[in-house]
Amino acid sequence: MSSSKEEDGAVPAAAKGSWAPFLKSIASFNGDLASLTAPPFILSSTSLTEYSGYWAEHPEIFVAPAQEKDPQKRALLVLKWFLTTLKQQYSSRNEKLGSEKKPLNPFLGELFLGKWKDPTGKIGETQLISEQVSHHPPVTAYAILNEKHGVKLEGYNGQKASFSRGTISVRQVGHAKYHLKEFDEDYLITLPSLHIEGIVYGAPYVELNKSSTIISSTGYVAQIDYSGKGWITGKKNTFCATLKKEGSKDILYTIDGQWSDGFVIKEGKTKKELETYNAKTTEITPLYIAPIEEQDPLESRRAWAKVQESINTGDLETTGTEKSKIENEQRELRKKEKEEGREWERRYFTRVMDDPVFTRLAESCEIVAEEGKTDGIWVFDEKKFAQVVEKARTGGEAKAEVVNTAA
């Protein structure tokens, strides 16, 4: 790799002295890379809990399967929706910030709440609930709800990272489930592995690798295979997806392209082009977040406000001071809980021994939950959610709950 542009423009001159020692530290580190202190210029002011919002920044595509009567076409629409989320999840930050940044590590119990509003009334309101359910290991759980169309996405994920030959490899642990109420239909979604390139030049970016799978309760299976730009051939962010009926070799649909740019949907047998999706020109719907003064103290942007402000202004001393305050408060809370023999109560999610939906769908593709790596199997707790909504309606909770969870 010899691009002088990439090398010269990535690392600020004032920071070059700290970059080489950082590379050496991750090269020799054997533990979780998330625990390493990164150079300030690659720190993001965004908490990892906010990443859950990338699942539904196109609400109209998110709910589209609910409006399709044919189960085969529904499975295709779910696959299409998943593919449209990849650009937002894995490259939107790079385009906005110039390179991938290290997010803030959420504290246990941290919340990120918001809504995608619909002025037309056709889609209805789509609600986001994201909660940090574990700190060691770090695990974020999320639920995205659209009551009008009866669509629910829920899931949880953690990451296991390692460094080799100038690249950080990240294995995502966890899964997502997409549910359509009208058809009583479920889809199990596995998460792709990824690697972070450009580390040597201080300009990190994400590339997906290996594969992910979407399994439906109606018997359709989608597989997405990822590949990137090689030394000689290939394009970045490339993928090839197929949709089949379980047990059949016949390909019903294929989708090929670059998840950061766009893709083409084709009929399996005839190769007839059915649809073209342009990821670059399709606009996202902004997520509405309550004003900071109305947020719950555990909500990300209120809890991290001073840290985020100091990162954005380049005030590294204040960044360290305010970040340490939050981390020390959390250590004291965990210490007190241990002394009292109790565990932090999750607000919206519950750890379970077994998830019947996951077990039923995962069995056919030999997918395992790996609960030991995520501090358990996490499910969205409808009862807890209803209680929070009821308290908000009766004035028993902070204003943030009224703004963010009222139906």
What secondary structure letter does DSSP report for 284?
P
Residue among 387, 407, 392, 388 at smallest CA distance from 148? 407
Other beta carbons within 10 Å of 64: 18
- Residue 104 near residue 307, CB atoms below 8 Å: yes
Report the distance separating Cα 101 and Cα 85, nearest Å: 19
235 versus 231: the higher-pLDDT residue is 235
pLDDT tens digits along 317-350 = 898 899 999 999 999 999 999 999 999 999 999 9
**Looking at residue 212, what is its pLDDT?**
96
pLDDT tens digits along 64-79 = 999 999 999 999 999 9
Please tell me the number of Cα atoms within 13 Å of 72 on its side-chain side.
10
Q: How confident is the model at residue 46 (pLDDT cuts 50, 70, 90)?
A: very high
> In sequence order, which ranges of 43-91 are alpha helices (DSSP H)?
59-63, 71-90
Report the distance separating Cα 252 and Cα 70, nearest Å: 14
Q: Is the pLDDT of residue 105 over 50?
A: yes
pLDDT tens digits along 211-229 = 999 999 999 999 999 997 7
**Looking at residue 202, what is its pLDDT?**
65
pLDDT tens digits along 375-404 = 999 999 999 999 999 988 887 544 444 344
- Residue 274 corresponds to which tokens in the numbers above? 């059915």
- Residue 214 near residue 187, CB atoms below 8 Å: yes
Q: How confident is the model at residue 254 (pLDDT cuts 50, 70, 90)?
A: very high
Other beta carbons within 10 Å of 237: 22
100 versus 13: the higher-pLDDT residue is 100
Percent of the chain whose predicted confidence (pLDDT) is above 90: 69
Contact residues for 228 (Cβ-Cβ < 8 A; gap 6+): 197, 207, 208, 209, 234, 236, 237, 238
Report the distance separating Cα 39 and Cα 22, nearest Å: 7
**Looking at residue 304, what is its pLDDT?**
97
**Looking at residue 160, what is its pLDDT?**
84
What is the value of pTM for the model shown?
0.89
For 78, 246, 280, the CA distances from 258, given in Å and listed in that order, are 18, 26, 11
Max mean pLDDT range (3-12, 43-52, 196-205, 243-252): 243-252
Among 35-44, 68-77, 143-152, 294-303, the least confident range: 35-44
Burial class of residue 404 in the structure, from the number of CB atoms within 10 Å of its CB (0-12 exposed, 13-18 middle, 19+ buried)? buried
Q: Which helix (H) or strand (E) holds 96?
A: helix 92-97
Q: Which residues pair with 72 in a beta bridge?
A: none
Q: Is the pLDDT of residue 370 over 80?
A: yes
Report the distance separating Cα 107 and Cα 94, nearest Å: 24
Report the distance separating Cα 101 and Cα 321, nearest Å: 20
Q: Under CATH, which number does the domain 1-407 receive?
A: 2.40.160.120
Other beta carbons within 10 Å of 59: 23
pLDDT tens digits along 268-320 = 999 999 999 999 999 999 999 999 999 999 999 999 999 999 988 888 889 88
**Looking at residue 275, what is its pLDDT?**
97
- Residue 129 corresponds to which tokens in the numbers above? 């609930």
Q: Which residues pair with 277 in a beta bridge?
A: 263
**Looking at residue 22, what is its pLDDT?**
62
User: What is the residue extent of each domain of the chain?
Assistant: 1-407
**Looking at residue 20, what is its pLDDT?**
58
Other beta carbons within 10 Å of 2: 5
Report the distance separating Cα 108 and Cα 115, nearest Å: 22
**Looking at residue 407, what is its pLDDT?**
32
Average the pLDDT over 205-209 and give the result.
89
